[in-house]
Chains A and B, each alone.
Chain A
Amino acid sequence: MGRYVVRRLLQMIPVFIGATLLIFLMVNVMGDPIAGLCGDRECDPATAAQLRHEFGLDQPVWQQYATYMGNVFTGDFGTAFNGQPVTELMGTAFPVTIRLTIVAILFEIVVGIILGVVTGLRRGRPVDTGVLLLTLVVISVPTFVTGLLLQLLLGVKWGWIDPAVSSEAAFGELIVPGLVLASVSLAYVTRLTRTSIAENRRSDYVRTAIAKGLPRHRVITRHLLRNSLIPVVTFIGTDIGALMGGAIVTERIFNIHGVGYQLYQGILRQNTQTVVGFVTVLVLVFLVANLVVDLLYAVLDPRIRYA
Chain B
Amino acid sequence: MPDQEPYEPERAIAGTGMGGTMDLGASEAITLEQPPGPDGADPRDKPRSLWSDAWHDLRRNPVFIISALVILFLIVISLWPSLIASGSPLKCDLAKAQEGSQAGHPFGFNGQGCDVYTRTVYGARTSVAVGILATLGVAVLGSVLGGLAGFFGGGGDAILSRITDVFFAIPVVLGGLVLLSVITSNTIWPVIGFIVLLGWPQISRIARGSVITAKQNDYVQAARALGASNSRLLLRHIAPNAVAPVIVVATIALGTYISLEATLSFLGVGLKPPSVSWGIDISSAAPYVRNAPHALLWPSGALAITVLAFIMLGDAVRDALDPKLR
Q: Determine direct contact between A and B, CB below 8 Å.
A: yes
Q: Considering the complex of A and B, which 4 residue pairs feature the smallest CB-CB distances, nearest first?
A: A245-B171, A18-B166, A140-B308, A142-B259
User: Which of these, A19, A30, A137, contacts B304 with CB under 8 Å?
Assistant: A137
Q: Are B315 and A22 in contact (CB under 8 A)?
A: no
Collect the chain B residues with CB atoms within 8 Å of residue A26's CB: 175, 178-179
Collect the chain A residues with CB atoms within 8 Å of residue B163's CB: 18
Q: Are A249 and B263 in contact (CB under 8 A)?
A: yes
* A121 interface hit (Cβ, 8 Å): no
* B44 interface hit (Cβ, 8 Å): no
Interface residues of A, dominant DSSP = helix
User: Which of these, B165, B178, B305, contacts A15 with CB under 8 Å?
Assistant: B165
| Closest A residue, CB atoms, query B252 | A139
Collect the chain B residues with CB atoms within 8 Å of residue A31's CB: 181-182
Interchain nearest-CB distance for A44 vs B (Å): 22
Collect the chain B residues with CB atoms within 8 Å of residue A19's CB: 166-167, 169-170
Inter-chain CA distance A136–B304, complex, in Å, is 10
Inter-chain CA distance A140–B302, complex, in Å, is 11
A142-B311 contact, Cβ under 8 Å, with A148-B282, A268-B181, A270-B182 = no
Interface residues of A (CB under 8 A from B): 14-16, 18-19, 22-23, 26-27, 30-31, 136-137, 139-145, 148-149, 151-152, 156, 195, 202, 241-242, 244-246, 248-249, 252, 263-264, 267-268, 270, 275, 279, 282-283, 286-287
Q: Are B289 and A282 in contact (CB under 8 A)?
A: no
Collect the chain B residues with CB atoms within 8 Å of residue A145's CB: 262, 282, 300, 303-304
Q: Are B325 and A142 in contact (CB under 8 A)?
A: no
| Closest B residue, CB atoms, query A143 | B263
Q: Are B263 and A142 in contact (CB under 8 A)?
A: yes
Interface residues of B (CB under 8 A from A): 28-29, 162-163, 165-167, 169-175, 177-179, 181-183, 255, 259, 262-263, 266-267, 282, 286, 289-290, 293, 296, 300, 303-305, 307-308, 311-312, 315, 325
Inter-chain CA distance A252–B179, complex, in Å, is 19
Extra contacts besides A145-B304, A241-B169, A279-B174 (8): CB < 8 Å: A18-B162, A18-B163, A31-B181, A139-B311, A140-B259, A152-B289, A270-B181, A279-B170
User: Which of these, B179, B262, B263, contacts A30 with CB under 8 Å?
Assistant: B179
Collect the chain A residues with CB atoms within 8 Å of residue B255's CB: 140
Q: Are A136 and B312 in contact (CB under 8 A)?
A: yes
Q: Are A248 and B177 in contact (CB under 8 A)?
A: yes
Interchain nearest-CB distance for A78 vs B (Å): 16
10 A-B pairs with C-beta separation under 8 A: A136-B312, A140-B255, A144-B266, A145-B282, A149-B300, A245-B170, A246-B173, A248-B173, A267-B181, A283-B169
Inter-chain CA distance A245–B304, complex, in Å, is 23
User: Which of these, B174, B259, B282, contacts A263 with CB under 8 Å?
Assistant: B174
Interchain nearest-CB distance for B205 vs A (Å): 14
